Amino acid sequence: MEERTIEGRDEVGQHAEACARARCAQVQCNEQGGNVMNRPDGGEPTASQKIYSVWWENGRLTFLDQTRLPEEVVREEQTSAEQVWDSIKRLKVRGAPAIGIAGAYGLYLGARGLKELPVERLLARVEEIAAYLDGARPTAVNLSWALKRMVRRAKGSGEHGDETPAILEHLREEAEAIHREDMELCRGIGEAGLPLIREGAGVLTHCNAGALATSILGTATAPLYLAHEKGVSFRVYADETRPLLQGARLTAWELMEAGVDVTLICDDMAASLMASGRVDLVIVGTDRVAANGDVANKIGTLGVALLARHYHIPFYVACPSTTVDLATPSGEQIPIEERDPEEVRFFGARRTGPEGVKVWNPAFDVTPHELVTGIITERGILGPPYERSLRSHP
Ligand code: MRU
């Protein structure tokens, strides 16, 4: 993996220029991929740990630009809350846990220059920036969860009598803690789900709930990476995931980078694949789990769950507890993001639908809890009734 980093600019408006510079390859890179090869905890990374979607080092935030994968591996520096908002909106950084981490750093970036503000005005501004960042994408609860946590930390610090510089320090610490904790959560999911990955198994996944979507290891992929490290031999099938091809561009790419046996299929091949007997279990990620166990995930997940039920294939959902939203009673209340119709009228750069054709483009769907065999979290595999199991393992 050859990786490049482009330096960020203060204004979102200067972004295009930065991207153009990246295309000219006027960037820093080294054979080992620069920063991404260093584990934040100082340990040696394994093959599956070399991909960091969000990187924070010496006060610099960079994202691996996921819109450019798999053709280009480019890190882009983020220097403002506006730029982070834009990166979340455009899916440069994406996946529920990753946008939570990104939002937390984005809030810190938006606040860190406000050293001269009196505490009361700083706290008001922190709330404003949090509300602004929260508006980037509505479905993944991790974004609002992380931003609320950041605001709470700032307010708590203010109530404790801290001055503005100390509050800003605490905001930085909180973002770093959210980032670090996600690494532990992903590892916990991996350990909990590991027994599901048996020798010779065929595992189907949808979208990208991998390392790219989190701090490290992913959620749906965490058991796969740990099984691979232990030498278990298994196959992964990645749905391509129209319209934006996260399965093809991202899941297939990162699993190949780690040396995991992965086969790419078009979304409409999943039924035949299951009918052929090659799928032993499905594992997907989720953007929000409602209190009754309904799960929102990338559009198309519901279809996969229905097929799995038809073919008597276990359907698992993997997520950290930060994706569980007990305040949302059922899937009906989960806000579903609708995205630009052009994403459907085009296949990548090529127009495939008539100009102006009506389009429906929900980014997510809701799989009812009845179709979910188990929810793999860092605390273990939760089973139905989810009303109870989610509350006892919040
Ligand atoms: O629109 P995306 O690419 O952000 O959608 C991501 C997903 O649906 C993932 O499966 C989900 O966020 C879980 S990530 C561990």
363 within ligand 1 shell (Cβ under 6 A): yes
Integer angstrom CA distances of residue 69 from 43, 236, 325:
26, 19, 31
Is residue 36 within 8 Å of 107, Cβ to Cβ?
A: no
The reply to whether omega before 385 is within 30° of 0 (cis) is: yes
Of 166, 247, 236, 164, the residue nearest 201 (C-alpha): 236
Alpha-carbon distance values, 274 to 68, 199, 242, 306 (Å): 31, 18, 19, 11
From the CA of 287, how far away is ligand 1's center (Å)?
A: 6
For 192-392, the fitting CATH number among 3.40.190.10, 1.10.10.10, 3.40.50.10470, 1.20.120.530 is: 3.40.50.10470
How far away, in angstroms, is 110 Cα from ligand 1 center? 25
Q: Which residue type, as a one-letter code, is found at position 11? A: E
User: Amino acid identity, residue 202?
Assistant: G
- Give the nearest ligand 1 atom to 214 CA: 15
Name the residue ranges covered by the structural domains of the chain: 3-188, 192-392
- Domain 192-392 in the same topology as domain 3-188: no
pLDDT in tens, the chain (394 residues): 666 676 643 332 333 333 333 322 222 222 223 333 344 455 555 555 568 999 999 999 999 999 999 999 999 999 999 999 999 999 999 999 999 999 999 999 999 999 999 999 999 999 999 999 999 999 999 999 999 999 999 999 999 999 999 999 999 999 999 999 999 999 999 999 999 999 999 999 999 999 999 999 999 999 999 999 999 999 999 999 999 999 999 999 999 999 999 999 999 999 999 999 999 999 999 999 999 999 999 999 999 999 999 999 999 999 999 999 999 999 999 999 999 999 999 998 999 999 999 999 999 999 999 999 999 999 999 999 999 999 986 5
Read off the pTM. Answer: 0.90
Q: Is 287 a catalytic residue?
A: yes
Say which CATH topology domain 3-188 has: Four Helix Bundle (Hemerythrin (Met), subunit A) (1.20.120)
DSSP state of 373: S
Residue minimizing CA distance to atom 6 of ligand 1: 95
User: In whole angstroms, how far apart are CA 270 and each of 203, 224, 264, 306?
Assistant: 11, 19, 10, 11
